[in-house]
Amino acid sequence: MTKVTLLNLKGEKIEDIKLNEEIFGIEPNNKVLYDAVILSRASMRQGTHKTKTRAEVSGGGRKPWRQKGTGHARQGSIRSVQWRGGGIAFGPVPRDYSKKMNRKERRLALKSAVVSKLQDFVVVDSLAITTPKTKEMVNILTDLKLNDVNTLIIVKELDENTILASRNISNVLLIEASEINVLDLVAANKVLVTKDALEAIEEVLK
């Protein structure tokens, strides 16, 4: 039976929570998970890179010197690829990097990411930030021993105090449970999740 420990914001144990075996008890599919990470990273690329070929650079309308008798190698244009200021051979051109993955694979990849990170989950009963101050969030992370690691914080719903208290901490990323994704899970060292956010994730992945 899969369980996680529920803590309060001081890092003290409250109880053990039983998790749905159909979701959290599966064997992670590393191949699908890898494909999902590649897809996510590829979708972040703009693909607007461009270099000019010898046909697109300006100048070079005539031969720089006659074909024979000069002692130089024969040249047809000063915009050939071997010339400074010439075109680029086989350079990058605009392209679409996006990849496709069907819905079942996406769901399996997300389940696999959650299960593979389950040992790094820190589940708290709530994340009530009373003031929009970074210091309060830092104190919470320190009590939970998360102040020196890349931490993904997942809450059911964002509130202004939590956003303002966490946005200046470089090793913290705050998202809603509805925004959970493979790339953020894989990139995090620890995942701080509230009890209601964990229930929301469980409901989505059923």
- pLDDT per residue over 49-96, tens digit each? 999 999 999 988 899 999 999 999 999 999 999 999 999 999 999 999
- Report pLDDT for 102: 94
Q: Would you call 151 helix, strand, or coil by DSSP?
A: strand
Beta bridge partners of 80: none
Distance between start and end Cα atoms, the chain: 17
Please state, as a whole number, how many other Cβ atoms lie within 10 Å of the Cβ of residue 65.
13
CATH architecture of 3-46+97-204: 3-Layer(aba) Sandwich (3.40)
Exposed / middle / buried, residue 117 (Cβ in 10 Å: 0-12, 13-18, 19+): middle
- Report pLDDT for 185: 95
Domain ranges for the chain: 3-46+97-204, 51-91
- Residue pLDDT, tens place only, 7-22: 898 888 899 888 888 8
Listed in sequence order, the DSSP H helices in the chain are 21-24, 30-43, 103-116, 134-143, 160-166, 182-187, 195-204
The single-letter DSSP state of residue 37 is: H
